[in-house]
Chain A
Amino acid sequence: MPLDLTPYLPTQAEVTSSHVAEVLSRLRIQSLSLFPDVKTTTNSVFGNLILEPLATLLATYEIAAERVRSDMILSNIAQGIIYDCNFVTEYLKNYGVSADSGVPVIGTVRLKFDTNKKFIIDRGTHILFGSVGLFHIIAPEIGDVIVDMVGSSKTSNNWYALTKTGDNEYAVNLPVIGPAGVTVAKDSIAFTDLDIPELISIEAVRDFESGRMPTTLPELAVMAQAISYAANFADRGGAIGFLKRKLPNLVGVSPIKSGDDEMQRDKDSILGVNTGKMDVLVKGATTYVTDSVIISLAEYSSNDYRTALTLPGGIPNMIESVTDIDGNPVDNFYIYGTSSDNNRARYASAAFSDLEILGLRVTTQSLLAQDSSYQIIKNNSNYPKLDIANSGGIYKGHIFSNKLERKIKLVATGTKVINGVTKGVFYAEDMLSGEILEELFITESNSRGVIDFEASGIKAYHMFNGIDLYFETSSNSFNVSTTDTFQNAEIILYFRAKTANVLVTYRYDPSVQIVNTLLKSGDIQPVIDVLPKAFNTAYIDNLTINYKRGSAIVKKEQIKDELLEYFNSLVYDNTYDYTTINDIVLYGNAKGLDSMDITATVYHSLAEKWSLDGLDVIDDFVELPTKNLINFNATYDEALLYNIVGPRNINYILDRNKITLREVS
């Protein structure tokens, strides 16, 4: 089909005589080239009656052709220079943007329940803010969303765990997605069609990402420009383009790839062969969300309580305080860390990511604790010949486990001779998490039977993590011979730890959890190893601004407001500079900046010590100290357990009470 230029033709006034004269000149040259003996002068019949009208027509079509080209230049469309909306609409579809591909609103909601139990939530559940804000849960995998009990184990990417947030109150944060253009403010309450009596409320954790309405072609063109970089994770620009398209209001996105100083996840290959890895650090808003939750710890030893720090907000940027539930400080608390996957993120390179497990240890005498309990049930009174009265165990707190109780079923299946020793074989099942261990052995003994963890390796260790268990036989002989009807004997062991509660106040960025969820989704899962992270925290302990006084009254509060906005939004590739500080001071009516004193504590991880293997042996932990960063321009190049803090992953947190304004003259 020929191109119809009619929509692009200019009006008569838009065709200038100089343009026509220039076209006429070209036509004359062309004519003389083709027909050298034909007179083309303006006073000739051919020149005046044919070439001149032809030049006028040709000039209009040249303008039309230029307009067609303009409609294919994204920067022109973005400026609103559009000649044929139908064509531009179709053209922009080549970039994957169209009027129906607006950027949806993405946010995080908190569901509060009054009971600690497992809830199955339909992925199509309606979460309605106002009359038009219909949101759905972002579920990376096919199937329902599982909201499991406090301390339960992850079973899929659609799995979330409850956290105790108050007396008879348990909460979970879920990412949700809704139509573009809907505004949802922090703490807004949502209605739902969820028929769960235990559900107390659903509320917005913070202001939702506003999304973007694809109302105009210029906006679509801007979007197309942004994604003209391939929107994938093959390079830095692609990663930024992808995330900015999904979450247009992100304050900062900083991809760190192999070769960057800050990329340490690719340093563990013995042969030096690295697979493609990328850390993607995101910051959703200038200030983080502050949240307080009640965390239950399990007693490890007298006045020593431990648990994995599982927080409903996800990855914390900062632990502000750990107190008893009345807000009184505990004697001592320590944060430890380990990587849940030393293949993907070895040691502290997992810091500030979903792969980091933070453990909380509280040593105090002031916490009120609930006593532990232990129960053993067996289905066969004859065998195994366990003396229930004398068999037993305790559940000990484990620094990297948030489980407070265990219910383990052992099913006897027979015997097996290992290294010449006949042992009873059990299948073990963790009845709370559903985890099954195929073989577990009990060794014959004249006194006490022993659960042989070593024979079954690390999985058995994790299943019985923190359980100090012993069996005592009811006779002198613990005989596993087949004559004792060993088959199908069943023992159920129930442990509950001695527990105590603390109130943990922390800051976090809901965007990190959203990005985590997005990247787990099957249709956009990157082919390279992409690990979403929060920025490493540099907490500013002191910011003293020494200013020179001007003639007007200095607006100190204004200066503090702007300093807060400035420092808290500084992420790569925005770097700190004195000029901006000086401007802030000047706009606050001071004469200028004299000097500045600044100290900040840099966290390689929020953990102060790191477990290389995930075992709860604190004596083996490696020191991972925080550092005091005095000079903001310094690059922090000290690799601590595979973690480097540098310009690409540092983020400053500044509180108002840390700012001091001093007049020096």
Chain B
Amino acid sequence: MKGIKIDFNATGAVLDLDSMVSGFDAVNQDTLVNLGTQRGSDVIDKNRGSSLEALTLKSSSVISLQASLHVANIVAAETSFYIFSSDDFNEPDKLANMELQPIALTPNGLKLNTVTVSISGQYRGISTTLI
């Protein structure tokens, strides 16, 4: 399965219409999109997205790196379950596991490290910063 590539960088997400992603890269991309999508923002599918934004920027629950671990666990679980249930049924290499690890909490933001594992054992580890 293949799709249009999205470049994630410091300014946000940009469509790269000249490139494609396929296989587990496409699944991994879906996972990141879901992680960054505010849960409930999709009028068609209310389960889509994660609570990451709600639990961090819109609340004061992240007061320490330790506390951010709870947030990371919750949103990782939400996203994993959503991807499990919504992925194309004929996707050969589906998501098997997802890890979301806070690595830094600064006045500028929370830095998370994301790792996804496919059912065939492929790993994708991407470090991202949430402003």
Return chain B residues, CB-CB under 8 Å to A52: 42, 44
* B-binding segment of A32-40, A95-103, A144-152, A203-211: A32-40
Chain B contacts with A in 22-79, Cβ cutoff 8 A: 22, 26, 29-31, 33-34, 37, 42-46, 48
Task: Report the bound CA distance from A555 to B33 in whole Å.
Answer: 79
Return chain A residues, CB-CB under 8 Å to B3: 38-39, 44-46
A17 beta carbon closer than 8 Å to chain B = yes
* A-binding segment of B84-92, B102-110, B111-119, B121-129: B84-92
Q: How far is the CB of A561 from chain B (nearest CB, A)?
A: 62
Task: Report the bound CA distance from A17 to B47 in whole Å.
Answer: 12
Contact assessment for B48 and A42 in the assembled complex, using a CB-CB cutoff below 8 Å: yes
* Contact residues on B (Cβ < 8 Å of other chain), bracket: 20 to 34
Return chain A residues, CB-CB under 8 Å to B22: 37
Contact assessment for B44 and A55 in the assembled complex, using a CB-CB cutoff below 8 Å: yes
Candidates B4, B37, B43, B89; contact of A46 at CB < 8 Å:
B4
Considering only CB atoms, which chain A residue lies closest to B21 in the complex?
A39
Binary per-residue interface labels of chain B (1-23) against chain A in the complex, 1 for a CB within 8 Å, 0 otherwise: 11110100000000100000010
Chain A contacts with B in 1-22, Cβ cutoff 8 A: 17, 20-21
Return chain A residues, CB-CB under 8 Å to B1: 37-39
Of A43, A52, A55, the most chain B CB neighbours within 10 A belong to: A43
Contact assessment for A41 and B30 in the assembled complex, using a CB-CB cutoff below 8 Å: yes
Return chain A residues, CB-CB under 8 Å to B91: 39
Return chain B residues, CB-CB under 8 Å to A40: 88
Considering only CB atoms, which chain A residue lies closest to B91 in the complex?
A39
Task: Report the bound CA distance from A52 to B48 in whole Å.
Answer: 13
Task: Report the bound CA distance from A17 to B45 in whole Å.
Answer: 8
Considering only CB atoms, which chain A residue lies closest to B36 in the complex?
A43
Return chain A residues, CB-CB under 8 Å to B29: 43-44
A24 beta carbon closer than 8 Å to chain B = yes
Contact assessment for A36 and B90 in the assembled complex, using a CB-CB cutoff below 8 Å: yes
Q: How far is the CB of A32 from chain B (nearest CB, A)?
A: 6
Considering only CB atoms, which chain B residue lies closest to A24 in the complex?
B44
Return chain A residues, CB-CB under 8 Å to B48: 42-43
Contact assessment for B2 and A17 in the assembled complex, using a CB-CB cutoff below 8 Å: no
Contact assessment for B88 and A42 in the assembled complex, using a CB-CB cutoff below 8 Å: no
Return chain A residues, CB-CB under 8 Å to B88: 28, 32, 39-41
Contact assessment for B90 and A42 in the assembled complex, using a CB-CB cutoff below 8 Å: no
Considering only CB atoms, which chain A residue lies closest to B2 in the complex?
A37
Binary per-residue interface labels of chain A (48-73) against chain B in the complex, 1 for a CB within 8 Å, 0 otherwise: 10001001100000000000000000
Q: How far is the CB of B83 from chain A (nearest CB, A)?
A: 8
Contact assessment for A45 and B4 in the assembled complex, using a CB-CB cutoff below 8 Å: yes
Considering only CB atoms, which chain A residue lies closest to B49 in the complex?
A43
Contact assessment for A45 and B15 in the assembled complex, using a CB-CB cutoff below 8 Å: yes
Return chain B residues, CB-CB under 8 Å to A46: 3-4
Binary per-residue interface labels of chain A (510-551) against chain B in the complex, 1 for a CB within 8 Å, 0 otherwise: 000000000000000000000000000000000000000000
Contact assessment for A17 and B15 in the assembled complex, using a CB-CB cutoff below 8 Å: no
Contact assessment for A17 and B26 in the assembled complex, using a CB-CB cutoff below 8 Å: no
Considering only CB atoms, which chain B residue lies closest to A15 in the complex?
B43
Q: How far is the CB of A522 from chain B (nearest CB, A)?
A: 65
Q: How far is the CB of B73 from chain A (nearest CB, A)?
A: 21
Task: Report the bound CA distance from A276 to B3 in whole Å.
Answer: 74
Contact assessment for B30 and A43 in the assembled complex, using a CB-CB cutoff below 8 Å: yes
Contact assessment for B44 and A39 in the assembled complex, using a CB-CB cutoff below 8 Å: no
Contact assessment for B6 and A42 in the assembled complex, using a CB-CB cutoff below 8 Å: no
Contact assessment for A44 and B44 in the assembled complex, using a CB-CB cutoff below 8 Å: no
Task: Report the bound CA distance from A56 to B43 in whole Å.
Answer: 10
Task: Report the bound CA distance from A218 to B4 in whole Å.
Answer: 53
Contact assessment for A17 and B43 in the assembled complex, using a CB-CB cutoff below 8 Å: yes
Return chain A residues, CB-CB under 8 Å to B37: 43
Return chain B residues, CB-CB under 8 Å to A45: 3-4, 6, 15
Binary per-residue interface labels of chain A (567-589) against chain B in the complex, 1 for a CB within 8 Å, 0 otherwise: 00000000000000000000000
Task: Report the bound CA distance from A52 to B33 in whole Å.
Answer: 15
Contact assessment for A43 and B44 in the assembled complex, using a CB-CB cutoff below 8 Å: no
Task: Report the bound CA distance from A489 to B117 in whole Å.
Answer: 131
Return chain A residues, CB-CB under 8 Å to B26: 39, 44
Task: Report the bound CA distance from A45 to B26 in whole Å.
Answer: 10
Return chain B residues, CB-CB under 8 Å to A28: 88
Chain A contacts with B in 344-377, Cβ cutoff 8 A: none
Contact assessment for B2 and A42 in the assembled complex, using a CB-CB cutoff below 8 Å: no
Q: How far is the CB of A129 from chain B (nearest CB, A)?
A: 63
Contact assessment for B43 and A38 in the assembled complex, using a CB-CB cutoff below 8 Å: no
Candidates A20, A39, A43, A48; contact of B2 at CB < 8 Å:
A39
Q: How far is the CB of B94 from chain A (nearest CB, A)?
A: 11
Contact assessment for A42 and B86 in the assembled complex, using a CB-CB cutoff below 8 Å: yes
Candidates A20, A36, A44; contact of B30 at CB < 8 Å:
A44
Chain A contacts with B in 331-353, Cβ cutoff 8 A: none
Q: How far is the CB of B22 from chain A (nearest CB, A)?
A: 8
Return chain A residues, CB-CB under 8 Å to B90: 32, 36
Given A36-B90, A37-B1, A38-B3, A43 and B33 contact (CB-CB distance below 8 Å): yes
Considering only CB atoms, which chain B residue lies closest to A50 in the complex?
B4
Task: Report the bound CA distance from A46 to B33 in whole Å.
Answer: 13
Return chain A residues, CB-CB under 8 Å to B42: 42, 52
Contact assessment for B44 and A20 in the assembled complex, using a CB-CB cutoff below 8 Å: yes
Contact assessment for B15 and A41 in the assembled complex, using a CB-CB cutoff below 8 Å: no
Q: How far is the CB of A23 from chain B (nearest CB, A)?
A: 9
Task: Report the bound CA distance from A43 to B78 in whole Å.
Answer: 14
Return chain A residues, CB-CB under 8 Å to B4: 44-46
Task: Report the bound CA distance from A38 to B86 in whole Å.
Answer: 15
Return chain B residues, CB-CB under 8 Å to A36: 90
Task: Report the bound CA distance from A39 to B92 in whole Å.
Answer: 12
Task: Report the bound CA distance from A48 to B31 in whole Å.
Answer: 13
Q: How far is the CB of B126 from chain A (nearest CB, A)?
A: 15
Task: Report the bound CA distance from A599 to B42 in whole Å.
Answer: 77
Return chain B residues, CB-CB under 8 Å to A17: 43-44, 46
Q: How far is the CB of B66 from chain A (nearest CB, A)?
A: 30
Of A20, A21, A44, A46, the most chain B CB neighbours within 10 A belong to: A44
Task: Report the bound CA distance from A20 to B83 in whole Å.
Answer: 20
Task: Report the bound CA distance from A55 to B33 in whole Å.
Answer: 20
Return chain B residues, CB-CB under 8 Å to A43: 29-31, 33-34, 37, 48, 83, 86
Contact assessment for A41 and B87 in the assembled complex, using a CB-CB cutoff below 8 Å: yes
Q: How far is the CB of A222 from chain B (nearest CB, A)?
A: 40
Return chain B residues, CB-CB under 8 Å to A32: 88-90
Considering only CB atoms, which chain A residue lies closest to B79 in the complex?
A43
Return chain B residues, CB-CB under 8 Å to A55: 44
Report 9 cross-chain contacts, Cβ distance below 8 Å, ordered by A residue: A28-B88, A39-B2, A43-B34, A43-B48, A44-B30, A45-B4, A45-B6, A46-B3, A48-B33
A-B pairs, 5 with minimum CB distance: A39-B3, A45-B4, A43-B30, A43-B33, A44-B3
The interface of chain A, by Cβ under 8 A from chain B, is 17, 20-21, 24, 28, 32, 36-46, 48, 52, 55-56
Q: List 15 additional A-B contacts (Cβ < 8 Å) besides A38-B2, A43-B86.
A: A32-B90, A36-B90, A41-B30, A41-B88, A43-B31, A43-B37, A44-B4, A44-B29, A45-B3, A46-B3, A46-B4, A48-B33, A52-B42, A55-B44, A56-B44
